[in-house]
């Protein structure tokens, strides 16, 4: 995916000033799809330990932890290891409204796990992540009130658990 793009970069006019930015919303069905489409249904549950046993058609069927690690490791090899910093300028997954309380809890845990895992994998590969906060999702932009302490905690835990890999 990312390793098949940006094969030709601009010439660095000032030495060591070139960097790469990417956005990450994979799988789209979990991160951003707002309603079922002809080509696929929304995923409510993401991560190998967070699949529903009762709402199986909403489990992510691709794009989980192994893909995150593969893509970010590929970016590390292609850019970071060659002295070109990579910024993950946008990423995020957001909570869904689900009628069944047990499945709502599982969705909440999936969203938190996704955000934690992306931060941990990105930072472990030398990539600097920036969570994309849609208005009044993570915090209230007028008052500064924290609205989603679970996602904030997940982001912080991902950063704390990261281990930068050496070349």
In this prediction, residue 48 carries a pLDDT of 96
In this prediction, residue 3 carries a pLDDT of 64
In this prediction, residue 114 carries a pLDDT of 98
In this prediction, residue 102 carries a pLDDT of 96
Q: Name the residue with tokens 């094969």.
A: 7
Mean pLDDT value of segment 79-83: 94
70 φ/ψ sector (left φ>0, alpha ψ -120 to 50, else beta): alpha
Mean pLDDT value of segment 98-110: 97
In this prediction, residue 5 carries a pLDDT of 77
Phi and psi at residue 35, in whole multiples of 5°? -155, 155
**Does the pLDDT of residue 1 top 70, yes or no?**
no
Non-local (6+) Cβ contacts of 84 within 8 A are 9, 18, 19, 20
What band does 16 get if pLDDT is binned at 50, 70 and 90? confident
pLDDT in tens, 26-52: 999 999 999 999 999 999 999 999 999
Q: What residue segments make up the domains of the chain, in order of their start?
A: 19-161
- What does pTM read for this prediction? 0.94
Q: 19-161, which class in CATH? A: alpha beta
Q: Could you tell me if 45 and 58 are in contact, meaning their C-beta atoms sit under 8 angstroms apart?
A: yes
Nearest-Å Rg of the Cα atoms of the chain is: 17
Non-local (6+) Cβ contacts of 146 within 8 A are 138, 139, 152
Q: Could you tell me if 89 and 43 are in contact, meaning their C-beta atoms sit under 8 angstroms apart?
A: no
In this prediction, residue 2 carries a pLDDT of 59
For residue 32, give both structure tokens. 């951003």
Rounded Cα–Cα distance for residues 164 and 167 (Å): 10
**Does the pLDDT of residue 100 top 70, yes or no?**
yes
For residue 70, give both structure tokens. 């593969």
**C-alpha separations of 24 from 52, 103, 128, 158 in Å:** 24, 25, 12, 16
């Amino acid at each position: 995916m990312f390793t098949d793009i940006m094969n030709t970069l601009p010439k660095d006019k000032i030495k060591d000033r070139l960097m790469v930015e990417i956005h990450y919303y994979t799988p789209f069905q979990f991160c951003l799809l707002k309603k079922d489409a002809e080509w696929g249904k929304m995923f409510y549950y993401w991560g190998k330990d967070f699949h529903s046993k009762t709402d199986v058609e909403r489990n992510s069927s691709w794009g989980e932890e192994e893909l995150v690690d593969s893509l970010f490791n590929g970016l590390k090899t292609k850019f970071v290891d060659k002295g070109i910093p990579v910024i993950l300028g946008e990423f995020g997954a957001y909570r869904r409204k689900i009628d069944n309380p047990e499945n709502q809890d599982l969705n909440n845990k999936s969203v938190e796990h996704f955000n934690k895992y992306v931060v941990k994998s990105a930072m472990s590969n030398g990539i600097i992540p920036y969570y994309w906060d849609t208005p009044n999702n993570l915090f209230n932009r007028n008052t500064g009130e924290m609205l989603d302490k679970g996602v904030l905690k997940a982001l912080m835990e991902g950063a704390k658990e990261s281990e930068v890999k050496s070349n």
